[in-house]
Amino acid sequence: MLDIATRLALGPVLLAQAARLRRTAPELPEPGGHRRGLAGRGRTALRLLVVGDSSAAGVGARSQREALAQPLAHTLARRLNGSVRWQLVAESGLTSDGVLQRLMRERPAAADVAVVIVGVNDITRDVPLAFALRHRSHIVHWLQVHARVRHVVFPALPEMELFPAMPNPLAWYVGQAARRNNRAQARWAQRHPGVTHLQMQGVANPDLFCEDGFHPSAALYARVAERLALHIVELARYSAPRSEAA
């Protein structure tokens, strides 16, 4: 009811602010660099797959070395005292349905743990939350069947009202939408074996975004990677590789 009332009361202002943001926000490229590789040395401790939207792709970082997937793999390799085979499947602008379609096209190699970063574009494109969660269920099923993933991690959306590029009341509105997403995703994850919703409260900081005021800087990616690594290390004992050749 609050969402409907807010739309009625602030609709013209929200639409105007969103349109202006789309016109004026700089479009940053996805950083270059390898999208798969081996981090660390020794036995294969984990096979990692990162999938998702522009934040998964590392927009805001200068290279994949400063983005999310590769630093996460190196952090995990240190914590697990072994090597981590990692791969990245991501593209700017993807909604939950877009992530599913990208996976089906690219067909990544088998992995033990997948991190799925998605949701912001569902909000900015006004995708109904029930539809977005349905597409995330399809993502989980595809990963479990086709990539043999044992555990899928869905990080919570950040506090979107902290995005420096967002003016009020648009910032307040999308912040509320992100909270609704997180509450619903947490309940949804509890119903799906092998899926977790990872809280990210307190990770985002307005001073740690890149120049577009919308995507993380390298420093913020590092904080996200650290939070993810702590969670994945707890999962690792349940996600050991089946075989080196798989």
Alpha-carbon distance of 25 to 20, in angstroms, equals 8
Length reported for the chain: 246
Sheet with 113-117: list strands edge to edge.
36-39, 83-90, 44-52, 113-117, 151-155, 195-198
Domain 36-236 part of CATH 3.40.50.1110: yes
pLDDT of residue 15: 84
Contact predicate 83/38, CB 8 Å:
yes
Phi, psi of 63 (to 5 degrees): -155, 170
- Going from N- to C-terminal start, the domains of the chain cover 36-236
Alpha-helix residue ranges (DSSP H) falling in the chain: 2-24, 54-57, 69-80, 96-106, 120-124, 129-146, 170-190, 218-236
| DSSP summary character for residue 213 | S
Per-residue pLDDT at 245: 36
Q: Tokens standing for 165?
A: 């590029």
Spans of the chain, pLDDT less than 50:
1-2, 239, 241-246
pTM passes above 0.85: yes
Phi/psi at 219 (5° precision): -65, -40
Q: What is the pLDDT of residue 6?
A: 57
Residue 160, SS3 per DSSP: helix
pLDDT at res. 9? 58
pLDDT of the residue at 23: 82
* In contact, 154 and 116? CB cutoff 8 Å: yes
Q: What is the pLDDT of residue 17?
A: 86
- Provide the pLDDT for residue 3: 59
- Enter the tokens of residue 150: 């044992």
User: Residue 37's beta-bridge partner residues?
Assistant: 86
